[in-house]
Amino acid sequence: MTKKRKKEAFFGILFAMPIILGFLIFVLAPLIVSLVMSLTNYNVVGAETHFTGIDNFKHLFDGTDMYFFKSLKVTAYYVLLSVPLQVIFAFCIALVLNADIKGRSLFRTVFYLPTIVPAVASSIVWMMLFDPDTGFLNTILKAAGLPGSKWIYGESTAVPSLALMSLWTVGGTVVIFLAGLQNVPKELYEAVEVDGGGWFSKLKAVTIPMVSPTIFFNLIMSFISSFQVFSQAYIMTAGGPNNSTLFYVYYMYREAFQYGNVGVASALGWILFLIILVLTMIVFKSSALWVFYDGEVKNK
Q: What local confidence, expressed as pLDDT, does residue 298 receive?
A: 46
CA 142 to mean position of chain CA atoms: 32
pLDDT of residue 3: 83
- For the purposes of burial, counting CB atoms within 10 Å of the CB of 287, is it exposed (0-12), middle (13-18) or buried (19 or more)? middle
Q: Map out the domains of the chain as residue ranges.
A: 67-299
3-class DSSP string for 186-226: HHHHHHHHHCCCCHHHHHHHHHHHHHHHHHHHHHHHHHHHH
Whether the Cβ atoms of residue 89 and residue 170 lie closer than 8 Å to each other: yes
Residues 6+ apart with CB under 8 A from 214: 176, 177, 179, 180, 181
Predicted pLDDT at 299:
45
Reported as a single tens digit per residue, the pLDDT across 278-288 is 999 999 999 98
Q: Which CATH number fits domain 67-299: 3.20.20.70, 1.20.1250.20, 3.90.1530.10, 1.10.3720.10?
A: 1.10.3720.10
Burial class (CB in 10 A: 0-12, 13-18, 19+), 107: middle
Q: Which residues of the chain have pLDDT under 70?
A: 1, 46, 294-300
